[in-house]
């Protein structure tokens, strides 16, 4: 992505809004992927590599800083995922605002009371007692 930013889209302050590489898509009939139809000097190639490296390093450092600065939020999200096995937008909003996240709207804790209308016998098998299948004429 960083290489495309520099060589195809001209998104580099150091190299300017120039296209140093054309997008030819897939390699076809043995044509080399390195043969792009544009000729650049070794110095320009070196400058491209340095600019790509600068962009990657800058993005890496930004991502690392964000992860370190927000480690408490990441740990809280991990706790929520371990407890509920899912995380929704409201929970993320709560975590980001420093609030304790609520259970997901569709979460049903197995330790809570059974839903209304359900049998209260804990060990009752919910499967039908009759075998599945039978003659097709009965269906």
Give the C-alpha separation, 44 to 103, whole Å. Answer: 55
Residue pLDDT tens, the chain, 139 long: 999 999 999 999 899 998 888 765 555 555 444 445 568 899 999 999 999 999 999 999 999 999 999 999 999 999 999 998 889 999 999 999 999 998 887 777 655 544 444 444 455 655 555 555 555 555 5
Q: Is-contact 46 15, C-beta < 8 A?
A: no
Which pLDDT score is estimated for 133?
Answer: 57
Residue 74 lies in a domain: yes
Choose among 22, 20, 9: nearest CA to 43. Answer: 20
Residue 32 lies in a domain: yes
DSSP 22-49: ----S--TT--TT--S----HHHHHHHH
Which pLDDT score is estimated for 35?
Answer: 47
Choose among 101, 67, 97: nearest CA to 87. Answer: 101
Residue 11 domain boundaries: 2-69
Question: 91: Cβ–Cβ under 8 A, 6 or more apart, which residues?
Answer: 80, 84, 101, 102, 104
Shared-domain flag, residues 76 and 61: no
Residue 123 lies in a domain: no
Give the C-alpha separation, 135 to 139, whole Å. Answer: 8
Q: Which of 45, 69, 93 is the last residue of a domain?
A: 69
How many other CB atoms are found less than 10 A from the CB of residue 10? 13
Residue 55 lies in a domain: yes
Which pLDDT score is estimated for 21?
Answer: 82
Query: The domain spanning residue 49 has which CATH number?
Result: 1.20.58.760
Which pLDDT score is estimated for 63?
Answer: 97
CA 3 to chain centre: 22
């Amino acid at each position: 992505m960083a290489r495309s930013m520099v060589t195809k889209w001209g998104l580099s302050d150091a190299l300017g809004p120039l296209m140093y590489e054309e997008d030819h898509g897939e390699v076809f009939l043995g044509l080399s992927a390195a043969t792009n139809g544009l000729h650049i000097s070794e110095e320009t190639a070196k400058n491209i590599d340095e600019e790509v490296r600068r962009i990657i390093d800058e993005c890496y450092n930004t991502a690392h800083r964000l992860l370190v600065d927000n480690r408490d939020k990441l740990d809280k999200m991990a706790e929520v995922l371990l407890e509920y096995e899912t995380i929704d937008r409201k929970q993320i909003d709560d975590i980001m605002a420093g609030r304790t996240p609520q259970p997901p709207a569709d979460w049903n804790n197995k330790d809570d009371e059974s839903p209304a209308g359900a049998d209260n016998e804990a060990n009752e098998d919910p499967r039908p007692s009759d075998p599945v299948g039978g003659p097709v004429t009965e269906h």
